[in-house]
Chain A
Amino acid sequence: MTHVTDLSSAYENLRLELRRGCLALAVLAALRSEQYGYSLRKILADRGMAIDENTLYPLLRRLETQGLLVSEWREEDKRNKRFYRLSPDGKSILKQLLAEWRSINDSLAAIL
Chain B
Amino acid sequence: MDLLDRYLHAVKFWLPKAQRQDIVSELSEDIRSQIEDKEAELGRPLTEADVEAILIRVGRPVLVANRYLPQRHLIGPALYPIYVFVLKIVTACYLVPWILVGIGLMLYSPGYRAAHGGGWVGALGAVWGGFWLTTLVAVGAVTVVFATLERGASKPGFLETWSPRKLPPVRDPNRISRADSIMELVANIVFASWWVLFMSSPIVLDRPDIRITLAPVWVYFFWGYLMTAAANVALGGMNLLRPNWTRAKAGFRLATNLCGSALFCTLTQSDILLNISLAPGSTADGQAIAAAINMWASRALPFAIGIGLVVLAVDIRRLVRVKAA
Q: Could you list which residues of chain A lie within 8 angstroms of chain B, going by C-beta atoms?
A: 36-38, 41, 52-55, 57-58, 61, 73, 79-82
With both beta carbons as reference points, the residue of chain B lying nearest to A57 in the complex is identified as B26
With both beta carbons as reference points, the residue of chain B lying nearest to A60 in the complex is identified as B26
Chain B 13-35, CB-CB to A under 8 Å as 1, else 0, gives 00000000001011101111110
**Measured CA separation A75–B59 after assembly (Å):** 27
What B residues does A81 contact at CB under 8 A?
A: 29
Interface residues on B, range: 10 to 19
Is A38 in contact with B58, judged by CB distance below 8 angstroms? Answer: no
What B residues does A36 contact at CB under 8 A?
A: 29
Instruction: Find residues 74-132 in chain B having any chain A CB closer than 8 Å to their own CB.
Output: none
List 18 extra interface pairs beyond A54-B63, A57-B23, CB under 8 A. A38-B29, A38-B34, A41-B30, A53-B27, A53-B58, A54-B58, A54-B67, A57-B26, A57-B27, A57-B67, A57-B68, A58-B68, A61-B68, A73-B25, A79-B29, A79-B32, A80-B29, A81-B29
Name the prevailing secondary structure of the B interface residues. helix
What B residues does A37 contact at CB under 8 A?
A: 26, 29-30
For the complex, is B64 an interface residue (Cβ under 8 Å from A)? yes
Select which of A38, A54, A80 is within 8 A of B59 by beta carbon.
A54
Q: A54-B59, A57-B27, A80-B25 are contacts. A38–B67 as well, Cβ < 8 Å? A: no
What A residues does B32 contact at CB under 8 A?
A: 79
Is A57 in contact with B30, judged by CB distance below 8 angstroms? Answer: yes
Is B67 in contact with A55, judged by CB distance below 8 angstroms? Answer: yes
What B residues does A52 contact at CB under 8 A?
A: 58
With both beta carbons as reference points, the residue of chain A lying nearest to B63 in the complex is identified as A54
With both beta carbons as reference points, the residue of chain B lying nearest to A61 in the complex is identified as B68
